[in-house]
Amino acid sequence: MELLLFFVGTILVNNILLSRFLGVCPFLGVSKKVETALGMGLAVTFVMTLASIMSYIVYEFILTPLNIQYLYTIAFILVIASLVQLVEMIIQYVSPSLYQALGVYLPLITTNCAVLGIAVINMQNEYTLIKSIVSGLGTAIGFTLAIVLMAGIRERIDYNPIPKAFQGYPIVLITAGLMAIAFLGFTGLI
């Protein structure tokens, strides 16, 4: 029950994009169409869950015994980058159609700070392995939710008469701000 509440909390209350403001680059970059946004969301979900597990293992069984925890940033980047490469190869081999659907978004996740962010958050809060996995999965679903909502809004923005100064990214940033305020309403849910 506690884990379930924690799961919902990571999706809505501590939404990685709209309350922690991590991973904003893909949030603005690949939210032009709902389909591509969903593809990006799925790829992130996949990688973020795996990265949570891997970074937990590396931190607990390599960094802590050697007493070099301060190297966590570089170690996590190493883990995530290798993981994304490996996942890309495996997906291309096992399911070419999924590989085609995810396209360029999969390698782009290597540099997605939300993935690194969640690994660091898990470590700083000293979550257990199970809790780290739930945290990674929940955060990724929250990411997918926010980016798909944003894409839905942006598809409609195109048909509205926007003042010239606000066209393009300015209106998108304002929209993101308004969405963040709306998500603030979930505070106190848990």
> Which residues form the interface with other proteins (CB under 8 A)?
58, 62-63, 66-68, 71, 74-75, 78-79, 82, 85-86, 89-90, 92-93, 96, 159-161
Find the shortest distance in angstroms from Cβ 132 to other proteins: 19
68/184 with CB nearer other proteins? 68
Nearer to other proteins, 89 or 184 (CB): 89
> How does DSSP classify residue 63?
I
> Residue 175 CB, nearest distance to other proteins (Å)?
18
Closest CA to 144 of 34, 66, 42, 48: 42
Q: Are residues 49 and 137 in contact, defined by beta-carbon separation less than 8 angstroms?
A: yes
CA atoms within 13 A on the CB side of 83: 25
Residue number with CB closer to other proteins (82 or 128): 82
Find the shortest distance in angstroms from Cβ 52 to other proteins: 17
Q: Which is nearer to other proteins, 19 or 92 (CB)?
A: 92
In whole angstroms, the minimum distance from the beta carbon of 73 to other proteins comes to: 11
Q: Tell me the closest approach of the beta carbon of residue 36 to other proteins, in angstroms.
A: 13
Q: Are 74 and 116 in contact (CB under 8 A)?
A: no
CB of 85 to other proteins, least distance (A): 5
- DSSP label of 11: I
* Closer CB to other proteins, 79 or 115, in the complex: 79
Tokens at 106, concatenated: 């999969």
CA-CA distance, 120 to 100, in Å (whole number)?
31
Of the pair 124, 160, the CB lying nearest other proteins is at 160
Q: Give the total residue count for the chain.
A: 190
CA-to-CA dists, residue 46 to 2, 4, 39, 52, 125, angstroms: 24, 20, 11, 10, 22
